[in-house]
Amino acid sequence: MGIARMNKVYLLAHQADKEHVLSALQQSGLLEISDITGTEEAEGWVKSLARDQEQEALQELEGKLAEVRFNLDFLNRYHPVKKGLLDDFLAEKKSITAGEMERLAAGWADISSKVFAAIKTIDEKLLQIRNEETHLQNLQQQLLPWRRLPVPLEQLQSTPAVTIELFALPVNSADKFRSELAETGAAYALEQVEYLRGEIYFVLVAHHSDAETVRNVLKRFDYVKHTFPELTGLPEELLAGVEEDLHKLAAKQEVVRQNIAELAQYREQLLYYLDYLTVLREKRQAMENLGRTASTFVLEGWIREADVKKLKHLLADVSDSVAVMVREPEPGEAFPVLLENKPLFAPFEFVTKLYGAPSPYGVDPTAAFTPFFVIFFGIALTDAAYGLVLSLVAVLGLMKIKGENMRRLLKIIFACGLSTVVFGWLIGGWLGFQVLGAPLYFDSPSDPMRLLVYSLGLGNIDIFWGMKLKLIHLVRQRQYFAAFADVILWYGLIIGLLLLIVPAAATFGKYLAIISAVGLILTQGRAQGSIMKKFFSGVLSLYNITGYLSDILSYSRLLALGLATGVVSLTVNTMAGLLKGHPIGYVAMLIIMAGGHVFNLAINALGAFIHSSRLQYIEFYNQFYEGGGKHFNPFRIQTRHIEIRPDGLQHK
Amino acid sequence: MLGLESGLILAIIGAAAAVLLAGIGSAIGVGTVGQAAAGVVSEDPDKFGSTLILQALPGTQGIYGLLVGFLILQRIGLIGGSPVSLTVEQGWSFLFAALPIAFGGLVSAIYQGKTAVSGVYLVAKRSEESGKAIIFAVMVETYAVLALLMSIMMLFGIAV
């Protein structure tokens, strides 16, 4: 268990079998394909290979993908599906075989191009409607101030005898305008038609001979001239017409909307088609990593050692002429990392992967940190009722949800919930109350020092456990001296110092610590050149004890987080308690209790999860972890809406 | 009866400072993350969940502050009891016990908010790495937790 053993695989086959071989590989999901043209070791013979590129096929696929995505985007914008927060997780994938999918795909392609064509017309119609609508709305705005004008617009044109002006003035300059106009002594008539949004709308009729005078007055003001050169009829009637046109447009829009709703029935098929195309594209992209000659191709990849046989059987079924070469990784050769753990620990790979992949030659920390993670979560939450809720929610989720990653998280939550029940019962409460009497072990809020000591003690064990992993790893690699100097001596020093607190073992502790310290001084500088450098590096290494100390102290957060949950529960209960004694008060009390505890559970469960993770990543990993690996990412079928089952082997 | 004892007043100032300062820090932190998150969600609504978690992180300091404020009120009998009479020394002790979470919470929430904002940008570019963005922000939280721890230890240690 731990990091899976990987083998390197080379496949050599005829071009004619390429499609079938790659389809079989994609359906099996056994192999991670590497880019063969980039490898140095194969240089001698890879040179004679061309990079296998099928640009045209790929581009055609991209085109179809763009079309489906456009269709789906359009439908989502104009006819969105309402979905709940959890629907994404609960969605059932349609399950079909690869062969069925091939048969259905032609139909889906038809639907996609049909929908695309329909959308294009609809889009044009929508644009037209929108333009027309804007035009009408502008007209409406223009006509609105003049709606009380009892004269048809075409009659408001200047004649040889009189000049007619329609204009708007800001209300505060209207009086001044009136008086200045009067002062000119010109022959005119000024009529106020409307007062609207701070502007006064005037009709001014002046005798032709005075037109210039009147205009000169007007120019001194901040006026806006209105003209209706293309309109005829009464403004009132024109407005009614515009209104009617807008109604007609709305009706048109409704029809278009119904057209879109009709298209939305194809959404499901479009989603399937999207999946189908994505799978195809991944296959095409995988082909870019192959090497080719005129009639053969070469594929290089990594496979789990345990799967090699399966791969050979699979390929033998696809074609008689596939040559498979398998070898173990050369010493130091980096291979992709696949974590393998017993079913009990496997869900916690979720936590491991959150941080990254360990080095292929390092240690898989999953199984080692699992018990600590679960215990830490329980102490950080410390409320039995919250634990029950978490476990129940996780069980409900596991009954409904199919997604592998989500299921792993739910299993973790289930285990952590149980742990919370245990620790809540032992040292905490139930929703902040002590319904089952006092906690079984001790009441942590009233004796925090005790929990602090336990937290630090657990931290110490966690860190010793991490050092043990390093020890085992070094022994396995036959670095016995390093195992002794870098782990055993540290154990000795720390245990010796801890024993100083215990009166009966203090003397033994003292000598153990001194001997270990001397050992560390002598060994920790062994990488250095001169004797002096060796000595000083050795002495300096003792300084690492502070790092150890700060690692241990970091576990005090378990106490703080546990108390935080307890005290917030207490706060919620106290606030709710203030309201009792009145019928309405009881209702409010229940609301406060429910809301407060849900909030407390959510925020502190999140805190417990991430702080438990952090204690592993920073403090525990610090002892042994080597990162820098790359996760095993096999060439496989990745879909969101359909589940594709491999269909027998009919390709032969 | 709540008299004008200066000891009691000092303790109440302590409770107020814990809730006030840590709350200000959380408000700033949660606010800034929310702004960044809203921007990202406008581009990709599916990232609501992971950005919401990042936004929630700087909110804990406010809760820690509330927690310390509540504990002080409880110890001095303003909640669930009658006010105890405090000497001026005891009053100062309560006030100072509140300071670690008050200031630790204030500053750590603001900086955790900044870290989480960067985390939101990380999620915007590579949504599969949201776990790492969360861990970066949680590194800052450590100091709020330590401040809380010290405030609580001091509170439990003060004899009334």
- State pLDDT tens for residues A234-246: 888 888 888 888 8
A583 in helix, strand or coil?
helix
For chain A, which residues lie within 8 Å of any Cβ of chain B, measuring from their own Cβ? 354-356, 448-449, 452, 554, 556-557, 559-561, 563-564, 567-568, 570-571, 574, 603, 606-607, 610-611, 613-614, 617-618
* pLDDT tier at A175, thresholds 50, 70, 90: confident
CA of residue A439 relative to chain centroid, distance: 40
> Could you give the angle at which helices B48-56 and B6-43 cross, rounded to 10 degrees?
160
Per-residue burial over A117-155, b = 16 or more CB atoms within 10 Å of its CB, e = otherwise: ebbeebeeebeebeeebeebeebbebbebbbebeeebee
Average pLDDT, chain A: 85
| CB nearest to B156's CB, from A448, A568, A574 | A448
- State pLDDT tens for residues A101-141: 888 888 888 888 888 988 888 889 889 999 999 988 888 88
- State pLDDT tens for residues A413-440: 999 999 999 999 999 888 888 777 778 8
Query: Is pLDDT above 70 for A650?
Result: no
In chain A, residues under CATH classification 3.30.70.2750 are 151-233
What is the pLDDT, as a whole number, of residue A620?
93
* pLDDT tier at A302, thresholds 50, 70, 90: very high
Whole-angstrom distance, CA of residue B92 vs CA of residue B6: 9
**Nearest CA-CA distance, residue A564 and chain B, Å:** 7
Whole-angstrom distance, CA of residue A628 vs CA of residue A358: 6
Q: Do A355 and B132 touch (CB under 8 A)?
A: yes
**What six digits make up the tokens of A58?**
């790929």
What is the pLDDT, as a whole number, of residue A43?
59
Residue of A348, A567, A598 for testing the chain B interface, max B β-carbons within 10 Å: A567
Tell me the average pLDDT across A158-174: 79
* pLDDT tier at A651, thresholds 50, 70, 90: very low
Q: Do B67 and A557 touch (CB under 8 A)?
A: no
Query: Is pLDDT above 80 for B120?
Result: yes
Structural domains in chain B? Answer: 6-157 (1.20.120.610)
Whole-angstrom distance, CA of residue A572 vs CA of residue B154: 23
Whole-angstrom distance, CA of residue A444 vs CA of residue A461: 21
Residue of B55, B129, B139, B152 for testing the chain A interface, max A β-carbons within 10 Å: B152
* pLDDT tier at B58, thresholds 50, 70, 90: very high
Q: Is the ipTM value over 0.85, yes or no?
A: no
Q: Do A563 and B70 touch (CB under 8 A)?
A: no
Tell me the average pLDDT across B89-101: 95
What is the pLDDT, as a whole number, of residue A88?
64
Tell me the average pLDDT across A22-30: 89
Pairing type for strands A291-292 and A50-51 reads antiparallel
Phi first, then psi, for residue A297 (nearest 5°) are -140, 155
Asked if the C-beta of B70 comes within 8 angstroms of chain A's C-beta atoms, the answer is yes
Query: Is pLDDT above 50 for B72?
Result: yes
What is the pLDDT, as a whole number, of residue A284?
86
Contact between A52 and A290 (Cβ < 8 Å): yes
- Most confident by average pLDDT, A167-176, A235-244, B45-54, B90-99: B90-99
* Cα Rg, chain A, nearest whole Å: 40
Contact between A495 and A460 (Cβ < 8 Å): no
CA neighbor of A493 nearest in space, from A552, A544, A553: A544
What is the pLDDT, as a whole number, of residue A42?
57
CATH of domain A151-233: 3.30.70.2750
Phi first, then psi, for residue A304 (nearest 5°) are -60, 135
Torsion of CA A376, A379, A385, A387, to 10 degrees: 0
- State pLDDT tens for residues A236-277: 888 888 888 889 988 988 888 888 888 888 888 888 889 888
Residue of A570, A599, A604, A625 for testing the chain B interface, max B β-carbons within 10 Å: A570
What is the pLDDT, as a whole number, of residue B135?
85
Tell me the average pLDDT across A369-397: 95
| CB nearest to B148's CB, from A560, A606, A614 | A560
- The residues near A571 (Cβ < 8 Å, ≥ 6 apart) are A596, B66, B67, B70
What is the pLDDT, as a whole number, of residue B25?
97
* pLDDT tier at A46, thresholds 50, 70, 90: low
* pLDDT tier at A343, thresholds 50, 70, 90: very high
**Nearest CA-CA distance, residue B135 and chain A, Å:** 7
What is the pLDDT, as a whole number, of residue A649?
45
Look at A62-66, A449-453, A459-463 and tell me which has the smallest mean pLDDT.
Answer: A449-453
Q: Compare all CA atoms of chain B with the CA of A355 and give the residue at the minimum distance.
A: B132
What is the pLDDT, as a whole number, of residue A40?
61
* pLDDT tier at B37, thresholds 50, 70, 90: very high
Tell me the average pLDDT across B15-28: 96
Question: Does A163 or A366 have the greater pLDDT score?
Answer: A366
Q: Do B56 and A606 touch (CB under 8 A)?
A: yes
